[in-house]
Amino acid sequence: MTVAENIICWFAMSAPYQKELEAQKLLDKASVESFVPMCYKVVMRNGKKLRAWLPAVSNLIFARATRPMIQDVKKYIPFLQYLTRPEGGRNIPIIVPDDQMNQFIAVCRSREEKLTYLTSDEINRLGKGTRVRIVGGVFDGVTGSFMRVKGCRRKRVVVQVQGIVAVVLAEVQPDLIVEVID
């Protein structure tokens, strides 16, 4: 998806060396909206196991701005990089549609402890699933693919940011999934 220079959109970005939270603070200072998917992880600190609220996917951050705004901000955040995809012999920045990003953010912000995040490689191994829209409950209106996920007994709803990352919802009651999308 290519976009005009003056259109505000979501850019998929990388902040190598686990600097996604540092990049987010710097983007906030520059008045650029950003999002880092977060989840609870068990970490060892001082020999003790603790639950910590940490980035779910290493180095991944989304920034919402125009391309010139991002270019300007990148001058002050040199480690911030575009995630790109090949097109016509060039690598172009990945732009995430607003509706897809809004649904992804809504699911991630639920702080549901049983969410599972998948990388693009793991997404590609999943295969195709039936597209569904959840009706009712916490995830009302969210669309995704209903599929089997390794390590889960029952099928789950997977919400994707196309080709970048996906989040697997905790078990969704079958009576809530009433609308199949063609």
Under CATH, what is the fold of the domain 9-96? Answer: Alpha-Beta Plaits (3.30.70)
To the nearest 10°, report the CA torsion of 60, 99, 130, 162. Answer: -30
Report the pLDDT value the prediction gives residue 6, as an integer from 0 to 100.
Answer: 86
Which whole number is the average pLDDT over 62-81? 95
User: What ranges in 44-90 are assigned the alpha helix state H?
Assistant: 67-74
Q: Is the pLDDT of residue 175 over 60?
A: no
Residue 179: pLDDT band with limits 50, 70, 90: low
Q: Give 111: exposed, middle or buried? Use CB within 10 Å, 0-12, 13-18, 19+.
A: exposed
Answer whether residue 40 shows pLDDT above 60.
yes
pLDDT for the residue numbered 16:
93
Among 106-110, 114-118, 133-137, 173-177, whose mean pLDDT is lowest? 173-177
Give the predicted TM-score (pTM) of the model.
0.79
| Residue 71 structure tokens | 């270019």
Q: Residue ranges per domain, the chain?
A: 9-96, 99-180
